[in-house]
Each structure stands twice: as structure tokens, then as C-alpha cells.
Amino acid sequence: MSVLGDEARRFTWRARRRRRILLWIAAALAALVAFVAVAVYSPIMSVREIVVFGAERVDKAQVDASLADLNGQPLALVTNEDVETRLQSYVLVQSYSIRVEPPSRLVVTIVERSPIGTVQVPAGYDVMDAAGVVLWTQPEPAADIPTLELDGQGVDSEAFASAAAVSLALPVEFRSGVAAVTAKSIDDVRLTMRSGAEVVWGSAEESDRKAEVLAALVAATAEQSISSYDVSSPETPVTR
């Protein structure tokens, strides 16, 4: 047997082996693609349940209705953009997140805007969040959030930014006891409690600390007749 013949047979064997390997790889890839396609587009992996969390002020029934047409869509192909187009008209929705739970559940978690004050307008009172977004308008001042008195300045002013920052720093339960936040300038913010007591706040700086000190003072003097609190220097507060 010639050396040339042996070499030809080895070359032919190697070529057949490479072809078999390539065929195996191609078959494996085709099987993987088919598996993914079946998994993604199978009715079993389609949206059949939409669960919404975090809807308190926004009408949950309306949100459910807005998302309803996602039912039947491939679960793996539902995107943030799909949900955004259906929720962008809800002013109360600040942000949201989605989570897929195979085989068929889509979970949408909503974060609502937090109302921190009302501003008087010709139509009544605009209820706003800290960014100045009007959440809704009502005819009377709110009973559980303060009125922001801005000395004639608008929501794009430093006065509004200061008043909003102060109101936002107040714990929700405590904020309901504040009738008004008055901001004549960025350094002159005052609160009027529903009890009638006045609070000298000063600037919006250290608002978290001032809110903590004020809440402690109000709790400690609950049985006393206090007309004013001064937390403009939170480490040396004054009551009268």
C-alpha cells in the first residue's frame, strides 16, 4: 500500500469527521432554536394573569383595563415600553417595574406620586407632588396635606422648591397635622399647625433633622399649651 494512498484515506476520514461534527452542531443549534421558539411563542408561556401592586390612589380597575390587552402575548416578549405606553396617561403613576413569573404571570409594581401640598388656583386647589406635578384639583383645601403659601410666587420658584422640600421631609402622619407651609423666601419657611401653633423653620436645609426634632417636641408638649416652635436651629430648638 502506497504512502500516498494512506494519506488520501486519512484526509478523507478527517473530512468526513469534520462534516459529521458540523452536522451535529447544526442539528443542536436547530434544536435549540426550535426549543426557544416553542418556549417563547407557546400559548403555555403567554400572559394569562396580570397582577398590579402599589395602586392606592390611582384607580386599580382602570389600570387593569389598560393592561388587559397584554393578555395572550408571549410572556418573554413583554417589555417596559409595552407597559409604559399603557400607563403614561396616569399622572399619579411616577414609575413602575415589571417582573415575569413563568409560565404565565406578569407582575407590575407601581410607585405613585406622593401629594405633599395644595396650591390655591382659580379653579380651587391643585394637589401637587414635590416636583410640582398637579395630581388633581379639588374645590377645598385638603384635610390631610398642607396648603403651600408662596407669597404670590409660582411652582417654578425657589419658594415652591423650599416649601415642597419641607413638606416632603415631614412624616406622612405628622404632615396631616400641618395646615399650611408658608415660604416667603428660601430662608424663611414657616408652618402653621392645625392646632394653631406656629413653627419657625428657617431654610429648607437640614429639613429631615428639623422634622425629627419638631415631631419630638410636639409629642413631648402634647399636654401643654404651646403657641410656637422654633426649629430653625435644630440642635437648640425653642418652644413658647
Q: What is the mean pLDDT of the chain?
A: 90
φ, ψ (nearest 5 deg) of residue 144: -125, 0
CA–CA dist 41, 72 (Å, integer): 10
Question: Residue 193 pairs with which residues in a beta bridge?
Answer: 178
- For residue range 176-199, what is the model confidence (pLDDT) as tens digits? 999 999 998 889 999 999 999 999
- For residue range 105-152, what is the model confidence (pLDDT) as tens digits? 999 999 999 999 999 999 999 999 999 999 999 999 999 999 999 988
Which pTM value belongs to this model?
Answer: 0.77
Fold (CATH) for 117-239: Rossmann fold (3.40.50)
Going edge to edge, which strands form the sheet with 124-128? Answer: 134-138, 124-128, 117-121, 147-149, 178-185, 188-193, 198-202, 228-230, 238-239
Helical segments of 45-184, H only: 60-67, 80-87, 158-169, 172-175
Give the model's confidence band at 161: pLDDT under 50 very low, under 70 low, under 90 confident, else very high.
Answer: very high
Superfamily of domain 43-112: membrane protein fhac (3.10.20.310)
DSSP string, 138-173: ESS--SSS-EEE-TT--TTSHHHHHHHHHHHHS-HH
